[in-house]
Structure 1
Amino acid sequence: MSIQENGESDTLRPLWVEEPAVRPRLPDPVRTAAVRAVLIVSLTTIQAMVAFLSTVTGSWLAFPMVVSSVASTVVATWSVLDVWVTRQVWNQRNGVVSVPSSTARRLRRERRQARRTVRQEVRDAERIRRRGRPNRLSPQP
Protein backbone atom coordinates (compact mmCIF):
# COMPACT_ATOMS: atom_id res chain seq x y z
CA MET A 1 0.00 0.00 0.00
CA SER A 2 1.36 3.34 -0.96
CA ILE A 3 0.15 6.82 -0.33
CA GLN A 4 -0.52 8.77 -3.51
CA GLU A 5 0.09 12.49 -3.98
CA ASN A 6 -3.48 13.45 -3.03
CA GLY A 7 -3.39 11.46 0.21
CA GLU A 8 -5.54 8.51 -0.89
CA SER A 9 -4.33 4.96 -0.38
CA ASP A 10 -4.42 2.14 -2.95
CA THR A 11 -7.04 0.11 -1.12
CA LEU A 12 -9.09 -2.32 -3.13
CA ARG A 13 -12.48 -0.93 -3.94
CA PRO A 14 -15.34 -2.84 -5.58
CA LEU A 15 -15.99 -2.08 -9.22
CA TRP A 16 -19.64 -1.32 -8.51
CA VAL A 17 -21.96 -1.03 -5.57
CA GLU A 18 -25.31 -2.82 -5.56
CA GLU A 19 -28.19 -0.42 -5.09
CA PRO A 20 -31.82 -1.42 -4.61
CA ALA A 21 -34.04 -0.87 -7.64
CA VAL A 22 -36.30 2.15 -7.53
CA ARG A 23 -39.08 0.34 -9.39
CA PRO A 24 -39.92 -3.35 -9.09
CA ARG A 25 -38.87 -5.68 -11.89
CA LEU A 26 -41.35 -6.31 -14.71
CA PRO A 27 -43.18 -9.64 -14.59
CA ASP A 28 -41.64 -12.34 -16.83
CA PRO A 29 -44.32 -12.36 -19.57
CA VAL A 30 -44.26 -8.57 -19.85
CA ARG A 31 -40.46 -8.46 -19.94
CA THR A 32 -40.40 -11.17 -22.63
CA ALA A 33 -42.88 -9.21 -24.76
CA ALA A 34 -40.88 -6.00 -24.26
CA VAL A 35 -37.59 -7.62 -25.33
CA ARG A 36 -39.31 -9.10 -28.38
CA ALA A 37 -40.78 -5.69 -29.26
CA VAL A 38 -37.41 -3.94 -28.95
CA LEU A 39 -35.75 -6.49 -31.24
CA ILE A 40 -38.52 -6.24 -33.85
CA VAL A 41 -38.59 -2.43 -33.77
CA SER A 42 -34.80 -2.22 -34.12
CA LEU A 43 -34.79 -4.64 -37.06
CA THR A 44 -37.61 -2.66 -38.67
CA THR A 45 -35.62 0.55 -38.27
CA ILE A 46 -32.56 -1.02 -39.89
CA GLN A 47 -34.72 -2.38 -42.70
CA ALA A 48 -36.30 1.02 -43.31
CA MET A 49 -32.86 2.60 -43.47
CA VAL A 50 -31.66 0.03 -46.00
CA ALA A 51 -34.83 0.64 -48.04
CA PHE A 52 -34.21 4.38 -48.01
CA LEU A 53 -30.55 4.07 -48.99
CA SER A 54 -31.29 1.58 -51.76
CA THR A 55 -34.00 3.92 -53.08
CA VAL A 56 -31.58 6.86 -53.09
CA THR A 57 -28.96 4.85 -54.99
CA GLY A 58 -31.54 3.50 -57.45
CA SER A 59 -30.83 -0.13 -56.62
CA TRP A 60 -33.08 -2.95 -57.82
CA LEU A 61 -33.45 -3.90 -54.12
CA ALA A 62 -35.39 -0.70 -53.38
CA PHE A 63 -38.90 -1.91 -54.22
CA PRO A 64 -38.76 -5.22 -52.30
CA MET A 65 -37.21 -3.47 -49.30
CA VAL A 66 -39.88 -0.77 -49.23
CA VAL A 67 -42.67 -3.35 -49.42
CA SER A 68 -41.11 -5.47 -46.67
CA SER A 69 -40.52 -2.35 -44.57
CA VAL A 70 -44.23 -1.56 -44.68
CA ALA A 71 -45.03 -5.11 -43.57
CA SER A 72 -42.38 -4.91 -40.84
CA THR A 73 -43.86 -1.66 -39.59
CA VAL A 74 -47.20 -3.40 -39.11
CA VAL A 75 -45.51 -6.24 -37.23
CA ALA A 76 -43.54 -3.78 -35.08
CA THR A 77 -46.71 -1.89 -34.19
CA TRP A 78 -48.38 -5.17 -33.27
CA SER A 79 -45.44 -6.17 -31.04
CA VAL A 80 -45.52 -2.86 -29.18
CA LEU A 81 -49.26 -3.26 -28.63
CA ASP A 82 -48.56 -6.80 -27.41
CA VAL A 83 -46.42 -5.38 -24.60
CA TRP A 84 -49.26 -3.12 -23.51
CA VAL A 85 -51.88 -5.89 -23.70
CA THR A 86 -49.65 -8.39 -21.88
CA ARG A 87 -49.07 -5.90 -19.08
CA GLN A 88 -52.79 -5.17 -18.76
CA VAL A 89 -53.65 -8.89 -18.69
CA TRP A 90 -50.96 -9.58 -16.09
CA ASN A 91 -52.22 -6.76 -13.88
CA GLN A 92 -55.81 -7.96 -14.24
CA ARG A 93 -54.97 -11.58 -13.40
CA ASN A 94 -52.57 -10.91 -10.55
CA GLY A 95 -54.11 -7.82 -9.05
CA VAL A 96 -52.45 -4.58 -8.19
CA VAL A 97 -49.26 -4.15 -6.20
CA SER A 98 -49.87 -5.54 -2.73
CA VAL A 99 -50.40 -2.72 -0.31
CA PRO A 100 -52.64 -2.95 2.75
CA SER A 101 -55.31 -0.70 1.22
CA SER A 102 -55.35 -2.60 -2.05
CA THR A 103 -58.84 -2.99 -3.52
CA ALA A 104 -57.92 -6.22 -5.27
CA ARG A 105 -56.78 -7.85 -2.01
CA ARG A 106 -59.96 -6.78 -0.23
CA LEU A 107 -62.17 -8.15 -3.01
CA ARG A 108 -60.28 -11.46 -3.08
CA ARG A 109 -60.61 -11.75 0.69
CA GLU A 110 -64.38 -11.10 0.51
CA ARG A 111 -64.83 -13.69 -2.28
CA ARG A 112 -62.79 -16.25 -0.35
CA GLN A 113 -64.87 -15.63 2.78
CA ALA A 114 -68.12 -15.99 0.81
CA ARG A 115 -66.95 -19.32 -0.67
CA ARG A 116 -66.01 -20.59 2.80
CA THR A 117 -69.41 -19.59 4.14
CA VAL A 118 -71.26 -21.39 1.33
CA ARG A 119 -69.15 -24.55 1.80
CA GLN A 120 -69.78 -24.50 5.56
CA GLU A 121 -73.54 -24.11 5.06
CA VAL A 122 -73.60 -27.04 2.62
CA ARG A 123 -71.62 -29.19 5.09
CA ASP A 124 -73.93 -28.24 7.97
CA ALA A 125 -77.05 -28.99 5.90
CA GLU A 126 -75.63 -32.39 4.91
CA ARG A 127 -74.77 -33.16 8.54
CA ILE A 128 -78.28 -32.22 9.70
CA ARG A 129 -79.87 -34.30 6.96
CA ARG A 130 -77.78 -37.34 7.90
CA ARG A 131 -78.45 -36.90 11.60
CA GLY A 132 -82.24 -36.61 11.23
CA ARG A 133 -82.59 -39.91 9.37
CA PRO A 134 -83.06 -43.06 11.42
CA ASN A 135 -80.65 -45.90 10.75
CA ARG A 136 -82.72 -48.15 8.50
CA LEU A 137 -81.44 -51.07 6.54
CA SER A 138 -84.25 -51.00 4.03
CA PRO A 139 -86.54 -48.20 2.91
CA GLN A 140 -90.07 -48.20 4.29
CA PRO A 141 -93.02 -48.00 1.93
Structure 2
Amino acid sequence: MWVEEPATRRRMPDPVRTAAVRAVLIMSLTIIQALVAFLCTMAGSWLAFPMVLGGVASTVVATWSVLDVWVTRQVWNQRNGVVSVPSSTARHMRRERRIARRGARARARGEARIRRRGEGRLSRA
Protein backbone atom coordinates (compact mmCIF):
# COMPACT_ATOMS: atom_id res chain seq x y z
CA MET A 1 0.00 0.00 0.00
CA TRP A 2 1.24 3.50 -0.85
CA VAL A 3 1.94 5.73 2.15
CA GLU A 4 2.44 9.46 1.66
CA GLU A 5 5.39 10.77 3.63
CA PRO A 6 6.01 14.49 4.23
CA ALA A 7 9.03 15.97 2.49
CA THR A 8 12.03 16.47 4.73
CA ARG A 9 13.10 19.59 2.83
CA ARG A 10 11.13 22.35 1.16
CA ARG A 11 10.99 22.36 -2.62
CA MET A 12 13.37 24.79 -4.32
CA PRO A 13 11.76 27.80 -6.00
CA ASP A 14 11.32 27.44 -9.78
CA PRO A 15 14.06 29.90 -10.86
CA VAL A 16 16.57 28.31 -8.49
CA ARG A 17 15.65 24.80 -9.61
CA THR A 18 15.98 25.81 -13.27
CA ALA A 19 19.44 27.27 -12.63
CA ALA A 20 20.46 24.13 -10.70
CA VAL A 21 19.34 21.80 -13.50
CA ARG A 22 21.21 23.94 -16.03
CA ALA A 23 24.34 23.83 -13.85
CA VAL A 24 24.17 20.04 -13.51
CA LEU A 25 23.84 19.59 -17.27
CA ILE A 26 26.74 21.94 -17.98
CA MET A 27 28.90 20.23 -15.34
CA SER A 28 28.17 16.78 -16.76
CA LEU A 29 29.05 17.94 -20.28
CA THR A 30 32.26 19.48 -18.93
CA ILE A 31 33.24 16.20 -17.28
CA ILE A 32 32.52 14.27 -20.49
CA GLN A 33 34.55 16.76 -22.49
CA ALA A 34 37.46 16.50 -20.05
CA LEU A 35 37.38 12.71 -20.35
CA VAL A 36 37.38 12.89 -24.17
CA ALA A 37 40.27 15.39 -24.06
CA PHE A 38 42.22 13.02 -21.80
CA LEU A 39 41.59 10.05 -24.07
CA CYS A 40 42.55 12.06 -27.18
CA THR A 41 45.76 13.11 -25.44
CA MET A 42 46.58 9.51 -24.53
CA ALA A 43 45.89 8.38 -28.12
CA GLY A 44 48.00 11.17 -29.58
CA SER A 45 45.12 12.45 -31.69
CA TRP A 46 45.17 15.85 -33.39
CA LEU A 47 41.88 16.58 -31.55
CA ALA A 48 43.68 16.66 -28.18
CA PHE A 49 44.66 20.34 -28.29
CA PRO A 50 41.24 21.69 -29.39
CA MET A 51 39.54 19.47 -26.82
CA VAL A 52 41.80 20.75 -24.03
CA LEU A 53 41.02 24.36 -25.03
CA GLY A 54 37.32 23.52 -25.11
CA GLY A 55 37.67 21.85 -21.71
CA VAL A 56 39.19 24.98 -20.21
CA ALA A 57 36.40 27.12 -21.67
CA SER A 58 33.68 24.75 -20.48
CA THR A 59 35.24 24.71 -16.99
CA VAL A 60 34.84 28.49 -16.89
CA VAL A 61 31.23 28.17 -18.06
CA ALA A 62 30.52 25.44 -15.47
CA THR A 63 31.94 27.61 -12.70
CA TRP A 64 29.77 30.49 -13.91
CA SER A 65 26.68 28.27 -13.90
CA VAL A 66 27.30 27.17 -10.31
CA LEU A 67 27.68 30.81 -9.28
CA ASP A 68 24.44 31.52 -11.15
CA VAL A 69 22.63 29.03 -8.91
CA TRP A 70 23.98 30.75 -5.81
CA VAL A 71 23.14 34.26 -7.05
CA THR A 72 19.65 33.19 -8.19
CA ARG A 73 18.98 31.72 -4.75
CA GLN A 74 20.16 34.86 -2.98
CA VAL A 75 18.05 37.10 -5.25
CA TRP A 76 14.97 34.92 -4.73
CA ASN A 77 15.43 35.03 -0.95
CA GLN A 78 15.79 38.82 -1.01
CA ARG A 79 12.71 39.35 -3.19
CA ASN A 80 10.40 36.79 -1.60
CA GLY A 81 11.70 36.61 1.95
CA VAL A 82 13.23 33.76 3.84
CA VAL A 83 11.45 31.18 5.90
CA SER A 84 11.39 32.52 9.43
CA VAL A 85 12.77 30.30 12.15
CA PRO A 86 12.39 30.84 15.91
CA SER A 87 15.87 32.35 16.18
CA SER A 88 15.26 34.69 13.26
CA THR A 89 16.00 38.37 13.85
CA ALA A 90 13.08 39.33 11.62
CA ARG A 91 10.60 37.44 13.79
CA HIS A 92 11.99 39.09 16.94
CA MET A 93 11.70 42.57 15.39
CA ARG A 94 8.11 41.88 14.22
CA ARG A 95 7.21 40.79 17.74
CA GLU A 96 8.67 44.00 19.22
CA ARG A 97 6.77 46.15 16.70
CA ARG A 98 3.54 44.27 17.42
CA ILE A 99 3.95 44.80 21.19
CA ALA A 100 4.68 48.50 20.63
CA ARG A 101 1.57 48.88 18.42
CA ARG A 102 -0.61 47.17 21.01
CA GLY A 103 0.76 49.45 23.74
CA ALA A 104 0.13 52.54 21.61
CA ARG A 105 -3.45 51.43 20.92
CA ALA A 106 -4.05 50.75 24.61
CA ARG A 107 -2.72 54.23 25.54
CA ALA A 108 -4.91 55.84 22.86
CA ARG A 109 -7.99 53.99 24.15
CA GLY A 110 -7.19 55.08 27.72
CA GLU A 111 -6.80 58.74 26.68
CA ALA A 112 -10.04 58.59 24.68
CA ARG A 113 -11.84 57.10 27.70
CA ILE A 114 -10.54 59.91 29.94
CA ARG A 115 -11.68 62.54 27.42
CA ARG A 116 -15.14 60.94 27.09
CA ARG A 117 -15.58 60.85 30.87
CA GLY A 118 -15.19 64.62 31.14
CA GLU A 119 -17.28 65.58 28.04
CA GLY A 120 -20.69 65.97 29.71
CA ARG A 121 -19.57 68.32 32.52
CA LEU A 122 -19.38 72.10 32.50
CA SER A 123 -16.54 72.20 34.97
CA ARG A 124 -13.82 69.73 35.91
CA ALA A 125 -14.62 69.85 39.60
What TM-score range do you get, normalising by the shorter chain?
A: 0.5 to 0.7
TM-score normalized by structure 2?
A: 0.67
Contact 1:96 1:104 in 2 (8 A): no
For 1:75, which of 61, 85, 89 is the aligned residue?
A: 61
TM-score normalized by structure 1?
A: 0.60
Determine the structure 2 residue equivalent to 1:24.
10
For 1:45, which of 31, 46, 62 is the aligned residue?
A: 31
Deviation string, structure 1 residues 73-111 (Cα, Å, up to 9, x no partner): 00000000100111111111111104577544656xx7x
> Is the counterpart of residue 92 in structure 1 residue 83 in structure 2?
no
Select the structure with the greater relative contact order (CA < 8 A; seq sep ≥ 6).
2
For 1:66, which of 52, 74, 86 is the aligned residue?
A: 52
Identity over aligned residues, as a percent? 82
Determine the structure 1 residue equivalent to 2:115.
none
Where do 5+ consecutive residues of structure 2 fail to align? Answer: 98-125
More helix as a share of residues? 2
Compute the displacement of 1:18 (Å).
2.7
Matches of 1:62 and 1:23, distance apart in 2:
44
Determine the structure 2 residue equivalent to 1:57.
43
Which amino acid in 2 is paired with 1:42? S
What is the SS of the residue equivalent to 2:4?
coil
Aligned length: 94
Point out 4+ residue stretches in structure 1 off by more than 2 angstroms.
98-107
Superposition pairs for residues 109-124 of structure 1, below 5 Å?
A: none
What is the SS of the residue equivalent to 2:22?
helix
Could you say what the CA RMSD is over the residues aligned between the two structures, in angstroms? 1.9
